[in-house]
Amino acid sequence: MQKELGASGVLVVIGALWGACAGETHVNVEVNGEIACDDQADCDAWGFGWECAGGACWCPEGTAWCCAQEPGSDSCNRACHPPGACTDEHHVDAPASCEIPEDCPGPASPRCGRPTCVENVCGLALAPEAATQRAGDCVVVKCSEKGEAFDAPDPGDVFNDGNECTIDRCDEVRMSIVNEPYPRGTAPESSGYCDGQGHWVGCLLNADCGHPELICSRGGSCILRHCEDGILSTLQGETAIDCGGPCDPCPSGQPCNQGTDCIEGVCSDNRCARAACDDEVRNGSEGDVDCGGPSCVPCGRKKRCAAHDDCASGVCSLGQCQEQTCGDGVKNGTESDVDCGGVCPPCGTHAARSETSASGEGT
């Protein structure tokens, strides 16, 4: 089900949900966060206790969208309920007996708490949020009454791609990372310029070059005037018409003498070559030399990156791949689940958010 459902589509879903609640002991339909809203009134109209956040209706913090059974009733009331009121069955089985916590089943997600054994009775120690969080993913991982982990929007958890010519923010409706181009003009942090397409350049206008013999090229570099006269000037260092040497680099297939003559930085058999994952040059969509991007292998620690997926650890911060830790909110390294198992603590032993995950770019 998508957030873009129209009112009639939502009515059909809610009707089906209530029908299931009336006659079934378990309801699989999930609509928390799937109904769009413009303001709080849109959520109040349903009467389920939702709050409008990030363009969608969500249960308030500390509550869960679940089926709560009223005393003396055989039917459930599917809405946002406080802790202790939620069950997917019309009866609750007696808790299991135990001698130690390891005898007991843990929460649905090991990130949401741990099993307990108190006076030989199994229980759960649950947290409102997952023990560890991934920084810079625009979401906070919360925990339901059953210890299930689910994503909720967190507009303050912004991903910094390390590029001063992009504006980093979160799309609160889609819970996704956005790095939109900074407006064309002077770069906000350095002496260069932003081209309005997310790239740092050396100039935007001829006047930016500061010399009458220099002009600003289409690629945003200060070049000599012969680089745009439409004539092959080999004596001036051009390897093809108006490119190579002191001019803008040439596209693939054009003549070259060295890598700097080419856009992709690779000159093979005196021709500019296309980017490849083994050409020992950072080019194409790569995060760093021959790694990252959609085609090459993920990058290792301290390599450059523009997205979490560029990194083998799954963690990119301030334009650099980070080493995996037991508090980064990502399943990586030898972990058997997110931040547990392997060299990390056994799964289900987290009781609170770690100090590691609480620091960084977000929650």
- How close are the terminal C-alpha atoms of the chain, in Å? 27
pLDDT exceeds 90 at position 113: no
Helix or strand run (H / E) with residue 4:
none
d(CA 226, CA 81): 73
Render pLDDT for 164-194 as a digit per residue (tens, 0 to 9). 999 999 998 888 999 999 999 999 998 899 9
d(CA 324, CA 329): 10
pLDDT-derived band at 144, boundaries 50, 70, 90: confident
d(CA 6, CA 13): 11
Render pLDDT for 314-352 as a digit per residue (tens, 0 to 9). 999 989 999 999 999 999 999 999 999 999 988 865 543
Provide the residue type at 136 as one letter.
Answer: G
Which residues lie across from 311 on neighbouring strands?
299
Range in 15-19, 30-34, 57-61, 97-101 the model is least confident about: 15-19
d(CA 108, CA 127): 12
Helix, strand or coil, per DSSP, at residue 44: helix
pLDDT-derived band at 70, boundaries 50, 70, 90: low
pLDDT exceeds 50 at position 361: no
List all residues 6 or more positions away from 91 whose beta carbon is below 8 Å from its beta carbon. Answer: none
